[in-house]
Copies of this chain bind each other. A is one copy, B any other.
Amino acid sequence: MRYSPVIQYFPIFPEKRKRVIPATLLQTYNARLVKVDKDQILFEEGRRAVDYFQVEEGKVKMYVLNPEGQEFTQGIFAPGESFGEPPLLGDFPYPSSAITLEAGKIWRMSKSDFVQLLRDNFDIHMKLDQVLCRRLQYKSMILTEVSSYDPEHRLLTIIRYFKSKIAKHPSREQVIVPFTRQQLADMTGLRVETVIRTIKKMEKEGKLMLEGRKIKY
């Protein structure tokens, strides 16, 4: 048996390949699969939510910009993951904007179809709850970090978090952190310079490794 060599499908977060909602079910409930370019805006802060979104291919970033143009990344979503449900189910405007980080494909489904799907599929509904709950966990974690820990602690926490998602055996394995210094800064509320300095310091102290510019942990 041969494995498909289609490299652009290779996931950054392997376990995330499992879709929140399977493709067949999405089709049954009139979801449409739309092609997207890199850097395409999917929705903007303040707008009303009308659709359910699920990444099929590519990556999506949710972010907010403050008036000085500084960005804070609220989340990054990989293939199989859904996003933007909170404003849809909670009936409030989008608190952040969403943009594609690379070209790909996105499932979209109207709220009414989505709700009907949940009504008909209790297991999917519970799966959705799990997704929402994990997202709350992530936000609690970051909030705790940003509110009271120094740069080194924040970076270690976020690196460990993503490692636990990437690695099959997080305790034995070493992984390459799939983010730039700027992305780490945007996720932890730090400045690029601070991330660069802190990462360097941690390397000197043997707390992580650098391979070229790649961070290994």
A189 and B147 in contact (CB under 8 A), knowing A89-B133, A128-B129? yes
Does residue A48 face the partner (Cβ distance < 8 Å to B)?
no
Given contacts A118-B126, A143-B146, contact A136 B72 (CB under 8 A): no
The residue of chain B having its C-beta at the shortest distance from the C-beta of A96 within the complex is B140
**Contact indicator A90/B134 (Cβ below 8 Å):** yes
Query: Who on chain B is nearest to A123 by CB?
Result: B119
Which residues of chain A (42-88) have a CB below 8 Å from chain B?
Answer: 64, 66, 70, 72, 74, 85-88
Name A129's contact: one of B70, B132, B136 (CB within 8 Å): B132
- In the complex, chain A residues 110-154 whose Cβ is within 8 Å of any chain B Cβ: 115, 118-119, 122, 125-126, 128-130, 132-137, 139-144, 146-149
Establish whether residues A89 and B140, one from each chain, have CB atoms under 8 Å apart when the complex forms. no
Distance of A74 Cα from B139 Cα, bound (Å): 10
Chain B residues, CB < 8 A from A140 = 64, 74, 86, 95-96, 139
12 pairs of residues in contact across A and B, judged by CB atoms under 8 Å: A64-B144, A66-B148, A74-B140, A74-B144, A87-B137, A89-B129, A89-B133, A90-B130, A125-B125, A132-B133, A143-B146, A147-B189
CB A13 to nearest CB in B, in angstroms, measures: 17
Contact residue among B66, B92, B126 (Cβ-Cβ distance under 8 Å from A149): B66
Tell whether A146 pairs with B144 under 8 Å between CB atoms, given A90-B133, A129-B132, A133-B85.
no
> Are A147 and B86 in contact, CB atoms less than 8 angstroms apart?
no
Which residues A149-167 have CB closer than 8 A to chain B? Answer: 149
Given contacts A126-B115, A149-B66, contact A137 B72 (CB under 8 A): no
